[in-house]
Amino acid sequence: MGAVRVAERPDAAAPVVTDLCPRCQTTRRPREVICAFCGFDIRSLPSGRFDDQLLGAIFLPEPEVAEEAAFLLGIRRPPGAGRALERRYHETGNPFVQREIVIAADRVGGPEADRILADARTHYSVVVRGEALRRLVRRGGEVGDEAAAAARADPSPHVRLMAFRPPTRSELLASG
Ligand SMILES: [Zn+2]
């Protein structure tokens, strides 16, 4: 972890942008798109300060904060999201953060997403590799066929299963 550059967080006990609903300030649940308390759809918030804060929060050291920031960047897709996701992907050594970045990058799209997925599809960690192959399989066409072949030949049974898992309900909600 020595070379990892992350943002400073003066008070680790204070809530961060990913913790609270931007409208009612109630504690959010992880990967929540619609606030369970006030019904606010976090995608409907106009771009601005919240997105700027997310682009900073993804570099905070706590994995759960970085994962949630990645999720929110993936569903809000503000300008600069692809660059931030790619930088954090290479800076973190945490495969769970990297898996969430793979998901977010696939939602954001663009050249950064293509580079992240190209790296992640041969990642040593089965959680990152499985998620990347799953995303690529879903793209279909030649890319999807190649990913499907790689997944079928993968030494890990987790990856072989994961790559062909259909979208979950919460994924469909987040992309809808
Ligand atoms: Zn709320």
- CATH match for 42-175 among 1.25.10.10, 1.10.3860.10, 1.10.10.60, 2.60.40.10: 1.25.10.10
Global confidence as pTM: 0.90
| Residue ranges per structural domain of the chain | 42-175
pLDDT at 8 (0 to 100) = 63
Rounded distance, CA 21 to CA 129, Å?
32
Nearest to 4 by CA among 113, 102, 87, 123: 87
Distance 77 CA to ligand 1 centre (A): 20
Distance 23 CA to ligand 1 centre (A): 5
Q: Give the angle subtended at the CA of 93 by the CAs of 88 and 99, to the nearest 5°.
A: 70
CB within 5 A of ion ligand 1: which residues?
Answer: 21, 23-24, 35, 37-38, 40
Distance 27 CA to ligand 1 centre (A): 8
Distance 154 CA to ligand 1 centre (A): 42
Rounded distance, CA 108 to CA 124, Å?
24
Q: Where are the beta strands (DSSP E) in the chain?
A: none
- Give pLDDT tens digits for 20-72: 999 999 999 999 999 999 999 999 999 999 999 999 999 999 999 999 999 99
- Give pLDDT tens digits for 87-103: 999 999 999 999 999 99
